[in-house]
Amino acid sequence: ALHPDSFFLNEHFLSRPKDFPQLLNDTFLRAARGEDTEHVPVWCMRQAGRYLPEFRKTREGRDFFDTCRSPEACCELTLQPLRRFPFDAAIIFSDILVIPQALGMNVQMVAGKGPTFPEPLKEPEDLQQLQAKVDVSKELDYVFKAITLTRHKIEGKVPLIGFSGAPWTLMSYMIEGGGSNTHSKAKRWLYRHPEASHMLLKMLTDVIVQYLLGQVAAGAQALQVFESHAGILGPVEFKEFSLPYLRDIARRVKDKLKEAGEDIPMIVFAKDAHYALEDLSQSHYEVVGLDWTIDPQSARERTGGKVSLQGNMDPCALYAPKERISQIVKKMLEGFGKKGYIANLGHGLYPDMDPENVGAFVDAVHQHSKQMGAQI
């Protein structure tokens, strides 16, 4: 029997849009594959965000998830940072919690509190309330439409990145009912209900695979998987409840893309999982994203040139004066080296950051990396 991924893939890739404008700047894609580049490419997590006045204006008075469901709004928000800064990639504006929504859970964005699940999962029997078979092309078509529209409107300026949350991170939101410092409710499941935990993680993995394939069919040119809550797990739990699923996602997505004659670089970002750096560098992802708590040079040594690296400036360095930002960037670039490297922050931009300083960060990456190239 054909694998369920295949049906999805064939149906989507046959009907996929083909008339996208030609890509003019592939620096990001080349760096992701470890090829030579004239400068180090740079983009920022949450580059479409509240630090931009135009973002706040577009979002004004609209429900957060209503915005996520409007392809036009997502496209506009994705393009805004590109009008200001010479980023080398764009990431589609969306949210990782659209997957729990597709599974039938109610998620609301509460002002001052963040994402909230009025009815989180409490016990294993609650898994029965989740939609067993998710038709991703129906439930998440608004994301695919946003990607296709943005691919046209971006006019080939830079590649467009699609993304998803990773299974453990989504599971922890679904059980905690929102953000948490300890994640103790979700971790309670891992220790008390390991079988049910694996059942939920597998369910999420299946949806994520279809979701990422759908994003590529819609026009995404790279994919990032966000394991934002990796650091709350210890090495043993990470190896049992996160890593196998991260690997499974990359392997299944790659296998299906290969069948369709596609080759899309994938990035894994497991925040605060330094203990797993070696494992992550052998997990079928071309790029490993790093947070600011890892020293660039030691990350290079530990990954042994197997992958490209992305990161990892402390976002709070953007509060520094511009000259200082430039120095911090220079040191970071020297640590990572120019090849197989994508400059980024170690996490997303914060709402109170000055756009001018974001511009200074981008310019510093381009300037210093071009000078590095000249010295070799």
Burial of 198 (0-12, 13-18, 19+ CB in 10 A): middle
Q: Which residues pair with 303 in a beta bridge?
A: none
59 in catalytic set: yes
Catalytic residue, from 16, 33, 50, 247: name it: 50
Please list the alpha-helical segments (H only) found in the chain: 4-14, 27-32, 53-59, 64-68, 71-84, 98-102, 136-139, 141-153, 167-176, 184-192, 194-218, 235-241, 243-259, 277-280, 296-303, 322-336, 355-375
Catalytic residue, from 30, 151, 173, 341: name it: 173
Reported as half-sphere exposure (CB side, CA atoms, 13 A), residue 258 has a value of 6
C-alpha 90/C-alpha 338 separation (Å) is 21
Catalytic residue, from 16, 33, 84, 95: name it: 95
50 in catalytic set: yes
83 in catalytic set: no
Catalytic residue, from 59, 69, 151, 252: name it: 59
Q: Which residues pair with 268 in a beta bridge?
A: 225, 288
C-alpha 119/C-alpha 174 separation (Å) is 9
DSSP labels, 86-150: --S-EE----TTHHHHHTT---EEETTTEEE-SS---SGGGGGGS-SS--HHHHTHHHHHHHHHH
* Omega before residue 344 within 30° of 0, cis: no
95 in catalytic set: yes
From residue 201, give the alpha-carbon distance in Å to each of 93, 123, 137, 220, 289.
25, 15, 21, 24, 22
Catalytic residue, from 26, 30, 46, 69: name it: 46
CB 349 within 8 A of CB 318: yes
Catalytic residue set: 46, 50, 59, 95, 173
